[in-house]
Amino acid sequence: MQAIILAAGMGRRLGELTKNNTKCMLEVNGVRLIDRYLRQLSKYSLDRIVIVVGYEGQKLIDYIHANYPDINIEFVNNPIYDKTNNIYSLALAKDYLCADDTILMESDLIVEDGIIDKLLNHTDKDLALVAKYEQWMDGTMVRIDDNRRILQFIPKAGFRYEEADDYYKTVNIYKFSREFSSKQYIPFLEAYCKVMGNNEYYEQVLSVLTLLQNTTLRALPIGNEKWYEIDDVQDLDIASTLFSEDKNRFQLYHKRYGGFWRFPKLLDFCYLVNPFFPTKRMRDEIRNNFDTLLESYPSGMGVNSLLAGKYFGIKQDYVVVGNGAAELIKVVMEEHTNGRVGVIFPTFDEYPNRLKQEQIVQFIPTDSNFGYTADDLMEYYNDKQLSLLMLVNPDNPSGHFMPKADVLRLAAWCDKKDIKLLVDESFVDFTEEYEKNSLLHNDILASNRNLMVMKSISKSYGVPGLRLGVFASSDTELIQKIKKEVSIWNINSFGEFYMQIYGKYENDYRKACRKFCEVREKFYEDLKQIDFLIVIPSQANYFLCEVTNKYTSAELCELLIEKDIVISNCGKKKYMDGRNLVRIAVRDEADNARLVEVLKSLA
C-alpha cells in the first residue's frame, strides 16, 4: 500500500498566504497541512508516499527532505502546473498508481485521524470517501444507493439545490486497488486526456466509469468525522476553529459572535432565539419573495417606523427601527454620556460597555439567584442622583423577571426623581402570560414620558439573521433625534418584508410562545436532575446554572464543545463573585434532550 498526494496547485484564492509556498505548506493552528498528513500516514506500514509537486515544488521537496529523512517519500514534478489541472498531475503519477494499492489524497484537506483509519480498515478495495452534503461544501457531489454504489457524479455546474438532500460531497480521498487503477481508471484517464485535454479534474474520469457502470468503486460515508477543504482565507479560519486544541476551541467559537451556520454539526445553546417561530408557512412566504427582496431597495425610516408601529400596536411617532437592538443600544447610550447611570449587575454587557466606567452606579443583588425587587432598586438608588436607570427584564443572564406592576411603580418613582428609565424587554415574550407583560402600549408610553423601551426582534421572534430591533418612547423629540442618528436604509428589504407580513402570523406566534413555556418547564425539570448543576428558575429562554463539585464552568464548556455543543460561560462576567456559572439556552424538545443526555454522561 502506498499514498499519492497531489500538491502541484498554486492556491491563488489564498492570496498572500500562498505567495511563496504551495497550499500544503499552509499552517492550521501552527501545524502545516503536509506535516499533519505525513504524521497521520506514518502510523501505517506504507511502502512509500508519492507527492506530485509543481508550484514552489522545490521548497516543498527541501522541507520534506530536511524533516522526514526516515520516511520513503518520492516526488513527481508537474512542470506545467499553471496550465493544467489535477487530472494531469495524477496522469504523471500513473506508473506509481498501477504499481500498488493506493490512497489518493489532495493536499488542501485537513481531516481527523479516524477518517484514514476508516478508509484503510474497510474491506472494500476501491472506495471514495464521501460526506453528507452540508451548506459549506462546494465542488463534485455524488448520489449513492443503499448499497453504497455511486449512481452519479454531479459536477459543480450540475448542482441543484432542490435535490441537495440526496447529495454526498466527495472528500477527495480515495482508495484504489492496483487492479482498479491499471484495468479501469488509467485506461480511461489516458483516453479522457486525449479527448478533453489536461486542464480537467481526475474525478471526471470516475464520472465516466460510473455512467458506463464499469467500476468497482463504492462510496464510504464518513459519518461525523471532521474534515475541511481549504481553498481561501475563510476556509482557513473555519478549519482553524474546527481543528483547534480542546482548551482553545471554546474561545475560538465565541470570538466569532455568531455565524454558527458555518458549523452545521454544532448544537448552539449559547445564542438566544425562539425555537418555534417563524412557522414553516411564514418561512415559505419569505422564500417565495426572495428574488424580489434581493433585487429591491428597502423603504426609508418613515415606512419602517409605520410597520414597527403596526407590528406592536403603537404610534409611528413613538418608535424607531434598528438594525438589531445593538444599533439602537449604541445610539441611545451615547445620548447619556454625561450623568450617572444605574446598572444592575450581572447584565447584558452591551449596555455598560457603552458607558464610561465613572458613570456607572452598580447595583449587585445579594440574592443567590440574582433576584431583586422594585423596592430594592428604589431604596438603593434613592440618594444616588441618577440621570438614567437601566433595567433588563427578564434579566440576562439570570432570567429574573420583575412583574409589570412593579416596573410601572419603578417608572413612577423615576419620574418623581427626574430619572430616565430604560427597560429592555427583549425576552418578555418568553414569560408566563407574556401578552400582559409588555410595556409597548400607547397609554403606558404616553403616561410615562420618562420611560424608554428597547426590544430585540431577534430573540422571541426567532429571526436573528434579519437584524431587527425597536426603541420606543413618547418623547417624540428623542425619537426624531435617534432617527437622524441611524442611516436611512438601516434595515434591509428582508427585515422590512418580515414586519410587513407578521400580522398574518400573530396567532401562530402566540401558540409558539405558549409551547415554549411548556418546553422550558420540562427542560428545567430535566436539568435539575444533573447532580453537578444548580438551576436558577427563569422567565426567559435560558437558564443560569451554577456548576458545582465536579467541574468549573470553563471545564464544562470545553467538555461540551468536544461533543459539538456550545453553551455560554458566565463565570467571567462582572460581579459573579467567582461562581462557576453557565447560561444554557432553551431549544426544542429533541435538542434539549440531547444536551441532557450528554450532561448525564458527564455526571
Residue partners of 344: CB distance under 8 A and separation at least 6:
362, 363, 364, 365, 372, 377, 390, 391, 392, 395
Residue partners of 126: CB distance under 8 A and separation at least 6:
174, 175, 176, 177, 180, 215, 216, 217, 218
pLDDT at 265 over 90: no
Using the CB atoms, write b or e for 115-126: b if 16+ within 10 Å: bbebbbeeeeeb
- The cell numbers describing 165, all together, are 438532500
Position 508 scores a pLDDT of 97
| Distances in whole angstroms, Cα of residue 449 to Cα of each of 300, 405, 421, 471 | 26, 17, 10, 14
Q: Which residue has better confidence, 457 or 215? A: 457
Position 68 scores a pLDDT of 96
Which ranges in 243-346 belong to alpha helices (H)?
A: 246-254, 280-288, 290-294, 301-312, 324-334
- On whether the CB atoms of residues 538 and 394 are closer than 8 A, the answer is yes
d(CA 474, CA 317) in angstroms, rounded, equals 8
pLDDT at 403 over 90: yes
* Structure-derived torsion over alpha carbons of residues 328, 331, 333, 334, reported in degrees to the nearest 10: 170
What DSSP state is assigned to residue 298? P
pLDDT at 277 over 80: yes
Q: Can you tell me which residue has the cell 419573495?
A: 289
Positive or negative, the Cα torsion across 405, 406, 409, 410? negative
- The cell numbers describing 566, all together, are 456550545
- The cell numbers describing 419, all together, are 430619572
Cis peptide before 155 (omega within 30 of 0): no
Query: 3-state SS string over 507-542?
Result: HHHHHHHHHHHHHHHHHHHHHCCCCCEEECCCCCCE
Residue 82 zone, left/alpha/beta (φ > 0; ψ -120 to 50; rest): alpha
| HSE value, Cβ hemisphere, 13 Å, CA-based, for 449 | 6
- pLDDT bin (cut points 50, 70, 90) of residue 598 is very high
- The cell numbers describing 546, all together, are 451554577
| Distances in whole angstroms, Cα of residue 262 to Cα of each of 29, 37, 134, 189, 266 | 18, 24, 9, 35, 9
pLDDT at 572 over 80: no
d(CA 592, CA 585) in angstroms, rounded, equals 9
Q: Among 493, 451, 459, which residue's Cα sits nearest to residue 475?
A: 451
Position 258 scores a pLDDT of 82
- Give the count of beta carbons closer than 10 Å to the beta carbon of residue 218: 18
pLDDT at 252 over 90: no
280-507 is classed in which CATH architecture? Answer: 3-Layer(aba) Sandwich (3.40)
pLDDT at 214 over 80: no
* Structure-derived torsion over alpha carbons of residues 35, 37, 43, 44, reported in degrees to the nearest 10: -140
Residue partners of 593: CB distance under 8 A and separation at least 6:
526
d(CA 89, CA 325) in angstroms, rounded, equals 53
- Give the count of beta carbons closer than 10 Å to the beta carbon of residue 427: 26
Position 178 scores a pLDDT of 97
pLDDT at 260 over 90: no
d(CA 107, CA 90) in angstroms, rounded, equals 13
pLDDT at 573 over 80: no
- Give the count of beta carbons closer than 10 Å to the beta carbon of residue 438: 18
* Residue 509 exposed, middle or buried by CB count within 10 Å (0-12, 13-18, 19+): buried
Strand pairing partners for 6? Answer: 52, 106
Q: Can you tell me which residue has the cell 448542482?
A: 159
Cis peptide before 394 (omega within 30 of 0): yes
- pLDDT bin (cut points 50, 70, 90) of residue 431 is very high
d(CA 157, CA 569) in angstroms, rounded, equals 44
% pLDDT > 90, the chain:
89
Position 302 scores a pLDDT of 92
- The end-to-end CA distance of the chain, in Å, is 44
Per residue in 126-171, pLDDT (tens digit) is 999 999 999 889 889 999 999 999 999 999 889 999 999 999 999 9
Domain ranges in the chain?
A: 2-237, 240-275+513-601, 280-507
Per residue in 440-458, pLDDT (tens digit) is 999 999 999 999 999 999 9
- The cell numbers describing 367, all together, are 440574592
Position 448 scores a pLDDT of 97
Cis peptide before 221 (omega within 30 of 0): no
Superfamily of domain 240-275+513-601: Aspartate Aminotransferase, domain 1 (3.90.1150.10)
Provide the pairing of β-strand 102-106 with 168-176: antiparallel
Q: Strand, coil or helix: what is 417? A: coil
Query: 3-state SS string over 541-574?
Result: CEEEEEECCCCCHHHHHHHHHHCCEECEECCCCC
User: CA 417: distance to chain centroid?
Assistant: 45
- pLDDT bin (cut points 50, 70, 90) of residue 263 is confident
% pLDDT > 70, the chain:
100
Read off the pLDDT of each residue in 66-86 and give the average, rounded to a whole number.
95
Position 412 scores a pLDDT of 98
d(CA 429, CA 459) in angstroms, rounded, equals 9
Q: How many residues does the chain have?
A: 603
* Structure-derived torsion over alpha carbons of residues 296, 298, 303, 306, reported in degrees to the nearest 10: 110
Position 518 scores a pLDDT of 97
- Give the count of beta carbons closer than 10 Å to the beta carbon of residue 317: 13
Provide the pairing of β-strand 31-32 with 27-28: antiparallel
Position 163 scores a pLDDT of 94
Read off the pLDDT of each residue in 512-539 and give the average, rounded to a whole number.
97
d(CA 78, CA 176) in angstroms, rounded, equals 22
pLDDT at 577 over 80: no
Position 582 scores a pLDDT of 96
pLDDT at 253 over 90: no
What DSSP state is assigned to residue 392? E
- On whether the CB atoms of residues 401 and 434 are closer than 8 A, the answer is no
What's the fold here for domain 2-237?
Spore Coat Polysaccharide Biosynthesis Protein SpsA; Chain A (3.90.550)
- The cell numbers describing 191, all together, are 483516453
- pLDDT bin (cut points 50, 70, 90) of residue 575 is confident
Q: Strand, coil or helix: what is 220? A: strand
* Model confidence, pTM: 0.88
Per residue in 333-359, pLDDT (tens digit) is 998 888 999 999 999 999 999 999 999
Read off the pLDDT of each residue in 576-581 and give the average, rounded to a whole number.
84
Per residue in 178-208, pLDDT (tens digit) is 999 999 999 999 999 999 999 999 999 999 9
Cis peptide before 346 (omega within 30 of 0): yes
